[in-house]
Amino acid sequence: MSAAVEVLPPLSRASCPSCRLIEAENQRLLAALKMAVATAAGLAAEVEATKAENTKLKALLEEVRRKGKRQSRPFSKGNPKPDPKKPGRKSGDKHGKHGHRQRPDHVDETVDVPPPEFCPDCGGEVEPEDVFSDDFQADIPPIRPHVTCFHSRRGRCKKCRRRSWGRDPRQNSTARGAAAPHVGPRAMALASQLHTGLGLSFGKLSYLFQMVFGLSITRGGLVQILHRVARKAAPTYQALVRTVANASLVVPDETGWHVGGVSAWLWVFVVPGTDGVTVYLVARGRGFEDACLVLPADFDGRLARDGWSVYRRYEDAIHQTCLAHILRRCHELLETAQRGAARVPHAVQDLIQDAFALRRRREEETISARGMRIAIGKLEARADRLFAWEPTDDENRKLLKHLRQEHERGAVFAFLHDLEIPATNFWAEQEVRPIVVTRKVWGGNRTWDGAWTQQVLGSVLRTGQRQGQDPITLLVPVLCSPHPVVADLRGLWSGPDPPPPGPDPPSAP
**The three-state (H, E, C) secondary structure of 183-218, written as one string:** CCHHHHHHHHHHHHHCCCCHHHHHHHHHHHHCCCCC
d(CA 99, CA 194): 28
Query: Quick check: 509 pLDDT over 50?
Result: no
Indicate if the pLDDT at residue 335 is higher than 70: yes
Is residue 391 situated within a structural domain? yes
356 lies in some domain: yes
pLDDT at 462: 95
pLDDT band (50, 70, 90) for residue 308:
very high
Least confident window among 33-42, 124-133, 245-254, 470-479: 124-133
The pLDDT of residue 288 is: 95
pLDDT at position 304 is: 96
**For residue 129, how far is the Cα from the chain centroid?**
60
- In angstroms, the Cα distances linking 232 to 229, 278, 469 are 5, 18, 18
Looking at residue 375, what is its pLDDT? 94
Residue 438 confidence (pLDDT): 84
Flag the least confident range among 153-157, 311-315, 365-369.
153-157
User: Residue 355 domain-assigned?
Assistant: yes
* 430-434, long-range: CB < 8 A, 24+ apart: 431/253, 431/268, 431/270, 431/278, 431/462, 432/253, 432/255, 432/266, 432/268, 434/197, 434/199, 434/462
Question: Considering the domain boundaries, does residue 76 fall inside one?
Answer: no
Quick check: is 233 in a domain? no
d(CA 142, CA 75): 36
Nearest to 195 by CA among 17, 410, 434: 434
Contact 208, 222 (CB under 8 A): no
**Overall average pLDDT of the 94-112 stretch:** 79
H or E element that contains 40: helix 17-69
Mean pLDDT of 389-404: 93
Helix axis angle, 448-466 to 234-245, nearest 10°: 70
Q: How many structural domains is the chain composed of?
A: 1
Tens-digit pLDDT profile for residues 15-68: 677 777 888 888 888 888 888 888 888 888 889 888 888 888 878 877 776 665
Residue 424 pLDDT greater than 80, yes or no? yes
Average pLDDT over residues 5-21: 65
Judge whether 404 lies within some domain: yes
pLDDT of residue 67: 64
337 pLDDT higher than 70: yes
- State residue 378 phi and psi, 5-degree precision: -65, -40
Smallest Cα–Cα separation from 245: which of 275, 279, 286?
279
pLDDT band, very low/low/confident/very high, at 179 (cuts 50, 70, 90): low
Query: Could you write out the three-class secondary structure of 426-470?
Result: HHHHHHHHHHHHHHHHHCCECCHHHHHHHHHHHHHHHHHHHCCCC
CA separation for the pair 462, 471 (Å, rounded) = 9
H helical segments located in 144-269? 185-192, 202-208, 219-232, 234-245
At 13, the pLDDT band (50, 70, 90 cuts) reads low
- What pLDDT is recorded for position 258? 92
**How are strands ordered across the β-sheet holding 249-259?**
278-283, 262-270, 249-259, 302-305, 318-321
pLDDT band, very low/low/confident/very high, at 72 (cuts 50, 70, 90): very low
Residue 284: what pLDDT? Answer: 93
- Answer whether residue 75 shows pLDDT above 60: no
* Mean pLDDT, all residues of the chain: 86
Q: How confident is the model at residue 469 (pLDDT cuts 50, 70, 90)?
A: very high
Collapsing DSSP states into helix, strand and coil, what is residue 36? Answer: helix
Characterize 72-102 residue by residue with b for buried, 16 or more Cβ atoms within 10 angstroms of its Cβ, and e for exposed: eeeeeeeeeeeeeeeeeeeeeeeeeeeeeee
- Pick the residue with more confidence: 428 or 30? 428
239 bridge partner residues: none
CA–CA gap between residue 305 and residue 322 (Å, rounded)? 6
Dihedral through CA 470, CA 476, CA 269, CA 275, nearest 10?
A: -50
Report which of residues 469 and 99 the model is more confident about.
469
Give the integer Cα–Cα distance in Å for 509 and 507: 6
- Cα dihedral across residues 335, 340, 343, 344: positive or negative: negative
Domain of residue 353: give its range: 323-417
Residue 206 has pLDDT above 70, yes or no: yes
The Cβ of residue 275 has, within 10 Å, a number of other Cβ atoms equal to: 14
Least Cα distance to 442 among 102, 227, 195 occurs for: 195
Mean pLDDT for 307-334 is 94
Q: Is 486 helix (H, G, I), strand (E, B) or coil?
A: coil
Task: Name which of 24-33, 416-425, 446-455 the model is least confident about.
Answer: 24-33
CA–CA gap between residue 65 and residue 58 (Å, rounded): 10
Residues 6+ apart with CB under 8 A from 232: 475, 478, 479, 481, 484
pLDDT per residue over 232-281, tens digit each? 999 999 999 999 999 999 999 999 999 988 999 999 999 998 889 999 99
**508: pLDDT strictly greater than 50:** no
- Is residue 426 domain-resident? no
Nearest CA among 493, 486, 25, 457 for reference residue 198: 457
| Mean pLDDT of all residues in 334-358 | 91
Between 120 and 81, name the one with better pLDDT. 120
Report yes or no: 453 and 506 within 8 Å, Cβ to Cβ. Answer: yes
Residue partners of 110: CB distance under 8 A and separation at least 6: none
Is 334 a member of any domain? yes
Residue 250: phi and psi, rounded to 5, are -130, 135
- Three-state SS for 41-103 is HHHHHHHHHHHHHHHHHHHHHHHHHHHHHCCCCCCCCCCCCCCCCCCCCCCCHHHCCCCCCCC
Task: Output the pLDDT for position 168.
Answer: 74
Task: Determine the pLDDT at residue 133.
Answer: 81
Q: Residues near 56 by Cβ (< 8 Å), separated by ≥ 6? A: 336
For range 2-23, the mean pLDDT:
65
